[in-house]
Structure 1
């Protein structure tokens, strides 16, 4: 005697489909030690990873406030700025030649 499987109602089908979509949004399947396992997805902002979003959009003040100094842009502090020619010209005019 074969058992007949009961069909789902339309409301049950919608609920099952919504639950599946939610699981796919929250989790992803990866292989670990030769086995397929489900892990939580990394956080994203506008569809890109959170770290990349922060690197592209955060200003140095926000990074400092959140103690993310390793992601702050590095300015070349060793290179001297180009010397100003205006200062040199005014200094020459102020000098009295002997």
Structure 2
């Protein structure tokens, strides 16, 4: 006796398709040690990786509150890393303090 495969109802087909789409959205297939494995996808915001989205859109106050100091942009005018030249020193000596 051969078994007859039971067909799915339209509701079951929709549920199966939705579950498959959900798995595709959550996981991706990669090769690790020559084997194909399924891993969770990295989180994204509007299709952009979260780290890149934060770098592009976060303001300095939010970055400071969340201890992401390395991402805070440093303005060139705040810190002068070059030593003063001889001309700058001579101009400063010629000025009369008030």
- Paired residue secondary structure (1:39): strand
Instruction: For 2:6 and 2:30, locate their aligned partners in 1 and report how far apart those are by CA, in whole Å.
Output: 33
TM-score, normalised via structure 2 length:
0.75
Instruction: For 2:32 and 2:70, locate their aligned partners in 1 and report how far apart those are by CA, in whole Å.
Output: 30
Residue equivalent to 1:47: 47
Report the count of equivalent residues. Answer: 82
* Structure 1: 4+ residue segments shifted above 2 A: none
Residue equivalent to 1:88: none
Offset at residue 5 of structure 1 (A): 1.1
TM-score, normalised via structure 1 length:
0.75
Tell me the C-alpha RMSD between the 2 structures: 1.9
Residue equivalent to 2:30: 30
Alignment pair present for 1:17 and 2:17? yes
Offset at residue 71 of structure 1 (A): 1.5
Gaps of 5+ in 2: 83-94
- Paired residue secondary structure (1:78): coil
